[in-house]
Structure formats: structure tokens, C-alpha cells
Amino acid sequence: MVTSHSQSLQHTEAQERHRLLRVTSYDVRLDLASDDATFESVTTVRFTSEGGPTFVDLKPVSVSSITLDGRPVDRDLLDRGRLPLDTTPGEHELVVDAVMRFRNDGEGLHRSVDPADGKHYVYGMSFMDAAPSIFACFDQPDLKAPYTFHVRAPVDWVVLGNGAATNPEPGVWELATTQPLSTYFVTLVAGPYHLIRDEHDGIPLGLSARASIAGDLEKDADELFTMTRQCFDEFHRLFSIRYPFGDYHQAFVPEFNAGAMENPGCVTFRDPLVFSSRVTRGARVNRATTVAHEMAHQWFGNIVTPAWWDDLWLNESFAEYMGNRVTADVTEYDDAWVHQAYARRQWGLNADQRPSTHPVAGNGAVDATAALQDFDGISYAKGSSILKQLNARLGDEVFFAGVIDHLTTHRFGNATMHDLFTSWEKAGAGDLSGFTSSWLRTAGPDTVTLDRAAGVLRRTPPADHPADRSHRLRIATAGGGTWSSTEVTLAGPETPVSVGDAPVVIDPYEDSWGVFLPDTTTVQGLKTLLPSITDSALLASTWNAVRSAFHQAAIDPTDVIDLLEARLPIEDTEFTARHTLPWVFSTVVPLAGADALGRIHVAALARLHAADAGSELQLAAFRTAITASTSPDELRAWLTGDLPAGLERDVDLRWRILVRLAALGATDAAELDAALAEEPTGVSRVEHTRARASLPTAEAKEFAWARFTGEVDVANYELVAAGLGMWRGGQDELTAPYVARYFDELPATVSARSGWVLAEAAEAFFPIGALSEDTVARTRAVVAQPGLDPSLRRRLVDQADELERRLAVRTAYPQA
């Protein structure tokens, strides 16, 4: 039996099932040893019912048997992932014996083969609606229950999960019964993983990764364990509640879609976070904040879980705020907030300005699929910023007293935003209704600009989402070679300011949430001043102001290149190269004139030659020089000859050069295939796909397209890499036919994939470089199609908005 696409759980259905049922326990037996494509799953669910019809969620390949209280249930009743049940009042036992499919899309029980050694690895990702493809369950966040897993696996495998694992005999693993968990937290990690164990404050700690990157994990283990210890101590201090889930294992797994997942007892991370090539500090800060983010979830999300997906922002916004705060306060990465400004601010601001914007809270998630569409920069970056504002308003004493009350009152249960704000008000916060209404329940950001002629700072709420928000922020003003900051409260439409003709950065330390645009005087002044900014937070907010201006077609692309050209040769942090430059390459350069890339290349080489040998700045500048190079001879010399002292041609740099050569048409499929065969790592496999798709040949574009349509089935990372490689500037004649094909064939990709990867592939293959009103019209025509998958519709709405914004820039600032 193969079920068709499942139905998305409606909120009303979840409420009714929660009213009817209480789940007592899950006992799950999995056989991972008998087949590479499928696994046997036997689930015993014990629950009580008020009596009446309900359903259990199940997505099998086939079903061997189903019994309810010992009586057979007709297997043919299973329809689109749901098995209807008629229950009487009282206790029940449901047993489902089914065969499930291993997946390669990063959801359910994902199985992959490491190209480095041919070994197989498995991990579980149950988020949103993937749990029923592993075991039968009542799949919604507010039906928590303890879990006990029994696993049969190949004898050379290790098995880990939410409960502590024991191995009583070869190939047999028993996992301890967990605390009550929501279905979406359930995980299993199985395979010939390399394990490292430690302990801190009575908590068993663990790390694991594929055998082929064991050496890299060993090199990083001390740093990872040190950060974990520091974060545990700080979270215990702040919350006064000990971590309650037993072991704390951090598993780095292949082909993971998200950055990480906070599964209690066994957090899963994407394994590129185990660094197999040399990285800069920015990559390490990103990893540190990710580690701290997932640890924060153990309290906010895991001890207390949202009752429904429309409060998922509470999990992510809180973990985002606490992860950055704790990283900055207690680890070596005290610049975590600067990293956050570069890496996350624009993600949230852009999402908040799209037609698809939504409130942080109460976003109207009528079903699970709709909720997933709002799992975005608003849920993370905007919500985090607003919690940071709330903390500044309340102070730590009241803020954490409310959090502790919330976690204690609803321990191992579910709660809502109302419950949390009730706890804060009980702790002394006062009436927060005005705050929640204007900041959390109203979508869109205010735009704040300086009107020099009128001598005022002006606030403009979004036309479609009016709100009367008060901003408490600072203004940084340049003068005499230095910058000074002044506190300003913007409580109405405008407030007086006096800055003369000095360049000004509004909200330089990101005290508030909004779009803060630089005026022309500031932009021109920054071309001289930008190189002298030594305050890293001010520098980050300056670049964010530039990016916001570009997003609103309020700055000339050539001015952006001027600013980059001024700053890059003396850049003293690689955050610019890591976060600002990718945006410049993808978005600004195509609109900035023919010489833009060359100017960036010259500036990058200047920074490269001035940087200390072996420094992170040298590495960041070299990466930029590769991306900006238009000289095959230069790239070939870097690929095969001597590199500047302090640089090593590791797997990352090698493939960066090969991908750039491919985009320029200066290599071919044979050379790329040979490079993969010479060094067949997971990184190489993904970058080989990106390079093959980047070649300016008809064969290369068909290679990529076969992956988009599902004609060639590849894992998630390779699929996205093919899309990103396909649309290269200067290859318009080759890619032009695929613009129409994209819109014609996109809706049918639901037969090839689902969930997260369906939407990721739609965005990766979107013809964003086909900048025309016709592309916008085609996009909107597909959006209007009835029955289009909601995740596809959301991505297309956002891409249409991005196209229109880039067209607005081109119209406002046409290049000669």
C-alpha cells in the first residue's frame, strides 16, 4: 500500500483531537537492518478517549496489521495519511505494524551514503508533519507523551535518540523512556557514527559525526564541549531550572535541511558545521550561536511547547534572542550580536516588507502547512529583536521571573503567548497589551527617515498595516573624524533632531525594529567615512541601512559599489565578506554596470595583499577575489600553482575555483568529474553538482533541469546546488527557454518531492536573473492557479516581489 499526499492538519481538527484524547505513551520498534530502502516500524500507542471518532496519522509504504484493543482495523481505511478510529470512553491500545520508506529529502528517517567511504547514515527529522513517516502517531504539538524506542540495526552501527541508549547485544539498541515530548521532537540517529563523550555538572555530553569527518570532529570537540558547558551554566543561572532531559548529545548529520533541530536529548545539526576546511571567525560565531540557540530551546520549546503552530515564534524568537545573548556573554564569541546584525537582520526585514508578511504572533495558521510558510525571518529575527526590546523595557529581574513562572507553571506541557505574557504581568511587567498589539500582532516595519530640511526624524508605518509604535533608539552622527550617539524617542509621526549636514546612521545599535534609511548626504559622506569606522556594531548597522535603501530602490547600485570599494581594501572584519558581499554579488552587481565586478576584484586583491599571511581577513579576501575573477588564467594559477603564503588549497577553496571556472566556461564536465573522483567527499559531491550546472552548455542546463523535475533523484543539498548553479549571468541564451519551462513545470514538482525541499527547490531554480515584467507576469499567473501547493505559492509571491523591487532599482538608476 502506498498512500498519496497527506492532508494538512487543520487547527480545528487539532483542537477537537486534543479535547478527545490524552496520549499515555508510545512504544516504537524499528528494524533498520533488513533493507536499504525501507524499514519496519511497529508502534504501540496507549491513550485515553472521551469517546468518539478520531484518526491517527500514518504515512507508510505498506501496512502489515493494525489492531485497536486487540481487534483488527481495516487497513484500507487509511487515506492520505490518516487512519480513522472509532473510540469508546476509556483506555485504548493501538498497534500499527507497517513498512516505512527511508527518505533523502532531510525529513522523516533520512538515509544517505557517504561518498567518501560508502557507509550509510540515518537520522530522524520529525518536524511539522514528518513523524508519521517514521511511526504511527497523533501528530500535533499538544498531545505530548513519553517515548520508548527499541531498534535493530546493523551490528557496526551506533544508535542514539531522545532517551539514553544501551546496546544489550550486537545490533540491538534500547532507548530509555523519555519525558513527555511532542511528536515533532522525536529523533533517531543511527549509523557508523564517530562518537566523543564527556560530562558536565552531572549531564552526560556527546558529539557524533560521520566516520569520514571524525578527525575534523576531534579537532573541534574541545571548542564544542567548552561552549556547551558555558551555555549550560549560564542557562541554569538565568532560568534556575536544570536541564531535565538526561543526556545532551549533539549529532552532526549529513544533508540536514535546517541549521539544527532542538530534539530533547539528541540535538541534530547540519554536518557542514563540522569544519572540513579552514573557516573564518564568522563561521565559528555562526556555529556557536546555533549551539546556544538549540540549548535555549531545551527550556523554551522543549519543557514548554506551543499548543499550536501559530505560537511557534515563541520557540524561535526566544531561542534566537537567548542564543545570541548567552553566546556574547559567556563564550569567546563576544561579537555574536554583530554577527546577528549582519546575518539575520535583513532576512527578517525583507520578509517583513513582502506581500506575504504576517504578524510575529497570531499569524492565523489555519493548518500545519500554512504555519510552515510563516516559519521565516519574522519568526526568528523580528521576534528576537522585539524580545530584546521587551527585556530592555522590563529589566532582567522581571523578564526572567516571568519566564521562570511560565516554565514552572506549564512544565512538560503546552502553552500559548497569552500564558507567557500573563506570567510576565504577574512578575510585575504591568499591562503589556499595547506592546503586544503594536509590535507582535501587527505586521510590517515602520520606515524611519531623516528630513534634514524640516529638522525631524519621521516615522511612516506600512500603509497596509498601520500601527502607532514608539521607538527608543540612538542616532550616530559623524563629526571631526569620530562618531557620537544620541538617544531619541520617536513616539509620534516625527520628532525634532538637529544634525546639521553631518552623515547620520539611525539606530546604529539596533535598539528597535524598523527600516532605517540613509539620506543622500549620508550615503555620499560614507564614501569617505566608511573606511574609518572602527565600531563593529556601527559598521554592521551602516551596511544594513545601505541594504534597506537598496531594497526600497532608494540608493544607486553604483553608490553601493563605491562604498564597498572604499571599505574592502582596509576591511578589518570578515563579516562584510561573509554576509554583505554575497548580497552584492547576487543582487547589486547585475544592476550596477559593467565595471562593478572588476572594481570588487581589484579591491579584494588589495585587501588580500595587505592582510597578514594566515589571517582570516586574508582568507575572506581570497574567497572574494575568486568570486569576482573573470580571468580563467588567474583562476587556473590559483588552482594548480602556488597560493599566497598563509593559504592552503583545501577542498573548499578548490571547489570555489572550479565552480567559478565552470561559470566562465573555462572547464568541462570531464575535469569536474575527475575532481570529484579524486576527492569524493560530501562537500565535493554538492559542489560538483553546482559546477556541472554552472557550465555554459546545453548539456549542463539539462543536467540541472533533470534534477528539478525529479527525472534524476538526488538528495536535498545537491538539488539546491543544481538550481543555484543553473542561472548564471552571461548565459541568457542557454537559460532563456527554461524561464517558460519553470512556470509550466513547477506545479508538477509536487509529485517528485514535498515539504521543506519542495519549497527550497522552487526558490533555488527560480529565474531571478530573467529581470522583466514578463517574468513577473508569469510568476503571478502561477500564483493565481487554483490548487497550487501553498509552499510553492508562498515562494512565488516572495520572488515576484523581489523581481519588482529589482526592476524598480533598474528604473530609478539606469546604467549606461
Residue 258 lies in a domain: no
Same domain, 411 and 487: no
Same domain, 395 and 505: no
Which of 55, 31, 52 has the alpha carbon at shortest distance from 42?
31
- Residue 123 — φ and ψ, nearest 5°? -150, 155
Give the pLDDT confidence score for residue 1 in this predicted structure.
29
Residue 593 lies in a domain: no
* Grid cell of 116 as nine digits: 567518501
Q: Is 528 exposed, middle or buried (0-12, 13-18, 19+ CB in 10 A)?
A: exposed
Strands 147-152 and 172-175: antiparallel
Of all helices (H) and strands (E), which one includes residue 139?
none
Give the pLDDT confidence score for residue 5 in this predicted structure.
59
Residue 720 lies in a domain: yes
Q: Are 800 and 783 in contact (CB under 8 A)?
A: yes
* Grid cell of 34 as nine digits: 533488513
Where are the alpha helices (H) located in 344-458, listed in sequence order?
A: 345-353, 368-373, 377, 383-394, 396-409, 417-424, 433-435
| Beta bridge pairs of residue 123 | 110, 189
Active-site position among 107, 234, 294, 718: 294
Say how far apart CA 98 and CA 59 lie, in whole Å: 9
Say how far apart CA 96 and CA 46 lie, in whole Å: 12
Residue 644 lies in a domain: no
Quickly count: other Cβ atoms within 10 Å of residue 116's Cβ. 18
Q: Are 461 and 488 in contact (CB under 8 A)?
A: no
* Grid cell of 190 as nine digits: 543511527
What DSSP line would sit under 566-620, residue for residue? HHGGG---THIIIIIHHHIIIIIGGGS-TTHHHHHHHHHHHHHHHSPTT-HHHHH
SS (H, E, C) 307-376: CCHHHHHHHHHHHHHHHHHHHHHHCCCCCHHHHHHHHCHHHHHHHHHCCCCCCCCCCCCCEHHHHHHCCC
Q: What is the CATH number of the domain that holds 543?
A: 2.60.40
| Per-residue DSSP letter, 788 | -
Same domain, 23 and 5: yes
Same domain, 431 and 454: no
Same domain, 467 and 372: no
Q: Are 186 and 219 in contact (CB under 8 A)?
A: no
Say how far apart CA 585 and CA 200 lie, in whole Å: 44
* Grid cell of 764 as nine digits: 533555488
- Residue 368 — φ and ψ, nearest 5°? -65, -35
Say how far apart CA 398 and CA 756 lie, in whole Å: 38
In 425-470, beta strands by DSSP E:
447-451, 456-460
Of all helices (H) and strands (E), which one includes residue 207?
strand 203-209
Q: What is the CATH number of the domain that holds 24?
A: 2.60.40.1730
Which of 167, 127, 671, 623 has the alpha carbon at shortest distance from 368?
127
* Grid cell of 789 as nine digits: 501547493
User: pTM, whole model, 2 decimals?
Assistant: 0.96
For residues 412, 360, 19, 366, the Cα torsion angle rounded to the nearest 10 degrees is -140
Same domain, 427 and 498: no
What DSSP line would sit under 527-538, residue for residue? HHHGGG---HHH
Q: What is the CATH number of the domain that holds 322?
A: 1.10.390.10
Q: Are 622 and 581 in contact (CB under 8 A)?
A: no
Last residue in a domain, options 153, 184, 215: 184
Same domain, 341 and 407: yes
Instruction: Give the CA count within 13 Å in the CB-facing half-sphere of 814.
Output: 2
Q: Is 247 exposed, middle or buried (0-12, 13-18, 19+ CB in 10 A)?
A: buried
Q: Mean pLDDT of residues grouped by 10 in the chain (816 residues)?
A: 63 96 98 96 98 98 98 96 97 98 96 97 95 98 98 98 98 98 98 98 98 98 98 98 98 96 98 96 96 97 94 91 98 96 96 94 75 86 96 97 98 95 96 93 96 95 92 94 93 93 96 97 96 94 98 98 94 85 96 95 96 94 97 97 94 98 98 97 97 98 98 95 96 96 97 92 97 98 95 96 98 88
Instruction: Give the CA count within 13 Å in the CB-facing half-sphere of 169.
Output: 2
Please, what is the Cα angle at 555 between 552 and 561, to 5 degrees? Answer: 125
Say how far apart CA 439 and CA 419 lie, in whole Å: 18
Residue 500 lies in a domain: yes
Last residue in a domain, options 411, 440, 469: 440
Same domain, 436 and 326: yes
| Beta bridge pairs of residue 209 | 194
Residue 399 lies in a domain: yes
Q: Classify residue 90 as left (phi > 0), alpha (psi -120 to 50) or beta.
A: left
For the stretch 586-591, contacts whose Cβ atoms lie closer than 8 Å and that sit 24 or more positions apart, written own/partner, are: 587/550, 587/806, 588/550, 588/557, 588/560, 588/561, 589/561, 590/729, 590/769, 590/771, 590/806, 591/557, 591/806, 591/809, 591/810, 591/813, 591/815
Same domain, 468 and 329: no
Residue 718 lies in a domain: yes
Q: Which residues contact 339 (CB under 8 A, 6 or more apart)?
A: 282, 285, 286, 289, 324, 333, 575
Same domain, 541 and 411: no
Residue 343 lies in a domain: yes
255 is catalytic: no
Which of 579, 480, 488, 476 has the alpha carbon at shortest distance from 535?
476
Give the pLDDT confidence score for residue 363 in this predicted structure.
62
Same domain, 145 and 178: yes
Domain count, the chain: 4
- Residue 387's domain spans which residues? 306-440
Same domain, 347 and 415: yes
Last residue in a domain, options 440, 472, 499: 440
Strands 248-253 and 203-209: parallel
Strands 38-49 and 90-101: antiparallel
